[in-house]
Structures are given as structure tokens and as C-alpha cells.
Amino acid sequence: MKFNWNTFKVVLAFVVIVGVIFWSVVSVRSRSYSGTDLSFDTAGGVIAITNPSDEPAAAQFISSGSRTFRVSSTIDGVSGSSTRVGTGSARTQQFEFELPPGTSEFTISGGTDVSFVADTATELQATVNPMSSESRRNTLIAAAVVVFGALFYASNVVSHQWFKSLRDRVLPSRPDTSKQDTEPTPVVIDGGQGRAARSYGDNRADH
């Protein structure tokens, strides 16, 4: 295919499609963490943390920003807003709690750069969804709109030739029967002779 301005437009459209798909996958995929003395960024979605031991572990959510954040959880009595700790440049927002055995879920709202920190010898496991369900859905819808828009743009650049080719493959054209054969049907001439008479020999006996 000869490289021209239309080719550049098509290539650019597919670059946009690949970039949007990559961005959407990275944005919505879950992230997993495990280990002792566990620490990770919480992002803005649901956080599931598993404590495999039989004893609760001391943990906290902490933010270096000045904005208060709020914590909601499936643990009875563990919810509320962060408190300010320290002064000046050392000021942080913290929310301390006891992480019970089993799996607990948390949602962080407000604040900026909130992290989970646990100073324990127990190996904890955590799964972080970087977006809420609504944000994930909106991200996927926006990505789908951009992808289909770019596909239509690329198709329009080539005058939808691929669609015409696909249509011809799926629905092959039928022969045109609208034009009738104007040539007369040839007639076989018998030459004016009918069916030849069958001759029989004289079966009479000689006397």
C-alpha cells in the first residue's frame, strides 16, 4: 500500500485505539500486594486486606496531604475520618485501627496520596481496585466510545472499502437475470422427410 496522507490518518487512528485500550486496561485492573510490614498506595477503589493469623494486626491509613480523608470498612466500629498529626512540613493525616483475622474491605474517600501501612511480622495479602465501580464503568464506556470513533474515522478515510469487501464476501453478487437472451432458439429442420417406412421381406413360401 502506497504511503500517503490517508495512510497516515489510518495509522494514527490505530495508534490511538491501541493507546486507549492500554490505558483503560491499566486504569481498571486490580493490583495485588503481600508481605510483612506491608505498605502500598490505596488509590480510589475498594481495598481487600487478608490477615491470615489468629491475632489482629496494628495498621493505619496515612496521607502526607493536608486534606482529611474518610475510611469506610466492613469491620465493626472501624470507620470515620482521619486526624491530623504533627505540625508544619511534618504534618500528616492518619487513621489507625486493628486489622482483625480474615478478609476486610475498605473504601477511602477524599484526601490525597493515602497509603496503607502495617508494621507486623504477619504476611498480609491485599488487593487494590484503583477505581470505584462507577468510575470503572465510566472509564470503560469512554474507552469504547473513543475506540469505535477511531475505527469509524479510519473506515471513512478509505471510503469504507473494507466493509464493501466484507459485504461481497458474505453476500456474493448474483448473476443479472434482468437481461433476456435475444437470440432466437435454433430450430432443427427435419428436411421435409417423415419417418422412413419399414420394409419387410416376403415371408411366403415358394411353391
Residue 185 included in any domain: no
| Structural domain span for residue 153 | 1-29+131-162
Q: How far is CA 17 from CA 23, 128, 161, in A?
A: 10, 27, 20
Residue 117's CATH number: 2.60.120
Q: What is the DSSP letter of 171?
A: S
Burial class (CB within 10 angstroms; exposed 0-12, middle 13-18, buried 19+) of 12: middle
Query: Based on the domain organization, do 65 and 75 belong to the same domain?
Result: yes
| Among the listed residues 52, 207, 67, 25, the one whose alpha carbon sits nearest the alpha carbon of residue 126 | 52
Residue 47 included in any domain: yes
> Within 13 Å, how many C-alpha atoms sit on residue 121's CB side?
0
Residue-wise pLDDT for 89-125, tens only, equals 778 899 999 999 999 999 998 877 899 999 899 999 9
Query: Based on the domain organization, do 88 and 115 belong to the same domain?
Result: yes
Query: Based on the domain organization, do 82 and 144 belong to the same domain?
Result: no
Residue 18 included in any domain: yes
Query: Based on the domain organization, do 13 and 100 belong to the same domain?
Result: no
Q: Is the pLDDT of residue 207 over 80?
A: no
| Among the listed residues 125, 120, 137, 123, the one whose alpha carbon sits nearest the alpha carbon of residue 45 | 137
Query: Based on the domain organization, do 40 and 122 belong to the same domain?
Result: yes
Residue 5 included in any domain: yes
Mean of the pLDDT values across residues 40-61? 91
Q: How many domains does one find in the chain?
A: 2
Query: Based on the domain organization, do 9 and 64 belong to the same domain?
Result: no
Residue-wise pLDDT for 141-151, tens only, equals 998 999 999 88
Residue 34 CA to residue 114 CA, distance in Å, equals: 18
Would you say 56 and 96 are in contact if contact means Cβ atoms under 8 Å apart?
no
Neighbouring-strand partners of residue 2: none
Question: 170 or 99, which is more confident?
Answer: 99
